[in-house]
């Protein structure tokens, strides 16, 4: 720990903590856990896009506009803002009116800002005379100050940076920018490549879909799937379970002091598709760490970090030990490119403990959900 760490809270305010939700129950949980802002989507009722999936599926969204209204009321009653992820495609004129109706319906429920990932949608929203802040999604692949300046001229008030940056690069962008800057801090950090440039996740591969369901009964992008690896000299199988495209970032608990020192406005947890228990526990984890930093309790902060590394914490799709799943593989946000090309297996002992803890967690989650009230 250096003097910069000790003087952290005197230099920069603590950024907002943003948490994902996909249900009213999830909103209640993360707000109670300490979220400053929450972000969500709503299942679109666009007939022509009924079976269309872009970026996120229906399981990542609130089921109805009415539930969005309940979320907004609860959030506002507790001083928390609600951001809508309007990461919709701007494709053809035939769906423009439907998308406008979708955005208007969400605006009518009282959302506080729109997160936009497409310049065509931005143009459409501006034509609607929307009077709430517009935030530039990470899907606009902002990697430098020049891009931030361009998005600022277009009317964005906050820019969510791409994950493929270093902390020094983030600091430089913040210093030269005139708008709020937000970064991701936890969850599966996109993929090995630039988020917006993925041509695998949006394609339809029947065989891959069957493999995804065989692995964990949920959606898995191709970059997370295991591949067979052969020796090119003799065609001999070297390994039958290597996720060769997987270099995802997961955690940033060790880097919070440095991220705060950059001057970013928001620290965002990834995971709209995760169960409420994951969203809540991750929010609580980072809230506790940020509160320690805000109070200047650096010794307690580092002690908490080291303790967390050895614990099993919720990380979709099951509980994981941070030390084995993140630290040993250097799966840190904003560390050098392609730092973890191959996922290392978790030890048998850790995996066994994980299964028992996961079962307990799921049972407790089911019990607590039934008791959530407005």
Residue range 260-288, pLDDT digits in tens: 999 999 999 998 888 898 899 999 999 99
Burial of 244 (0-12, 13-18, 19+ CB in 10 A): middle
Burial of 197 (0-12, 13-18, 19+ CB in 10 A): exposed
Report pLDDT for 44: 65
Report pLDDT for 96: 83
DSSP state of 347: P
> In the chain, where are the structural domains located?
3-189+248-298, 193-245
What is the C-alpha to C-alpha distance for residues 122 and 125, in angstroms, rounded to an integer?
5
Task: Kindly report the average pLDDT of the chain as a whole number.
Answer: 80
Of 126, 40, 131, give the one whose Cα is nearest residue 87: 40
User: Could you tell me if 41 and 61 are in contact, meaning their C-beta atoms sit under 8 angstroms apart?
Assistant: yes
Longest dimension (CA), the chain: 66
> Mean pLDDT throughout 16-40?
97
Q: How confident is the model at residue 79 (pLDDT cuts 50, 70, 90)?
A: very high
Report pLDDT for 216: 47
Report pLDDT for 370: 43
Report pLDDT for 68: 96
Q: How confident is the model at residue 322 (pLDDT cuts 50, 70, 90)?
A: confident
Report pLDDT for 345: 53
Of 64-73, 102-111, 346-355, the poorest mean pLDDT is in 346-355
What kind of fold does domain 3-189+248-298 have according to CATH? TIM Barrel (3.20.20)
Report pLDDT for 242: 72
**Tens of pLDDT along 101-139?**
889 999 999 999 999 998 989 999 999 999 999 999 998
Whether the pLDDT of residue 85 is over 50: the answer is yes
């Amino acid at each position: 720990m250096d003097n910069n760490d000790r003087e952290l809270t005197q230099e920069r305010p603590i950024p907002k903590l943003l948490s994902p939700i996909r249900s009213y129950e999830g909103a209640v949980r993360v707000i109670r856990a300490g979220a400053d802002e929450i972000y969500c989507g709503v299942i679109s009722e666009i007939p022509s896009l009924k079976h269309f999936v872009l970026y996120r599926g229906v399981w990542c969204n609130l089921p109805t506009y009415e539930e969005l209204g309940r979320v907004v009321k609860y959030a506002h009653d507790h001083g928390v803002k609600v951001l809508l992820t309007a990461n919709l495609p701007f494709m053809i004129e035939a769906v423009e009116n439907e998308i406008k109706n979708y955005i208007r319906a969400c605006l009518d429920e009282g959302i506080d800002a729109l997160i936009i990932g497409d310049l065509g949608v931005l143009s459409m929203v501006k034509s609607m005379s929307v009077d709430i802040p517009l935030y530039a999604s990470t899907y606009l692949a902002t990697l430098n100050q020049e891009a931030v300046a361009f998005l600022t001229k277009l009317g964005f008030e906050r820019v969510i940076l791409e994950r493929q940056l270093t902390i020094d690069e983030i600091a430089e962008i913040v210093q030269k920018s005139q708008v709020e800057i937000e970064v991701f801090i936890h969850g599966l950090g996109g993929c090995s490549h630039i988020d917006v440039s993925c041509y695998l996740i949006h394609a339809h591969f029947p065989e891959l879909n069957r493999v995804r369901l065989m692995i964990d009964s949920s959606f898995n992008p191709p970059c997370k799937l295991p591949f067979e690896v052969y020796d090119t000299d003799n065609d001999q199988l070297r390994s039958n379970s290597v996720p060769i495209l997987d270099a995802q970032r997961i955690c940033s608990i060790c880097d919070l002091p440095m991220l705060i020192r950059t001057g970013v406005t928001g620290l965002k947890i990834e995971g709209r598709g995760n169960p409420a228990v994951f969203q809540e526990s991750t929010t609580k984890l980072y809230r506790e760490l940020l509160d320690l930093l805000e109070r200047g309790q650096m010794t307690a902060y580092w002690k908490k970090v080291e303790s967390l590394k050895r614990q099993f914490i919720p990380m979709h799709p099951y509980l994981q030990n941070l030390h084995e799943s993140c630290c040993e593989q250097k799966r840190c946000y904003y560390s050098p490119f392609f730092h973890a090309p191959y996922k290392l297996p978790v030890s048998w002992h850790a995996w066994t403990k994980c299964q028992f803890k996961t079962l307990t967690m799921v049972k407790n989650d089911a019990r607590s959900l039934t008791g959530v009230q407005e």
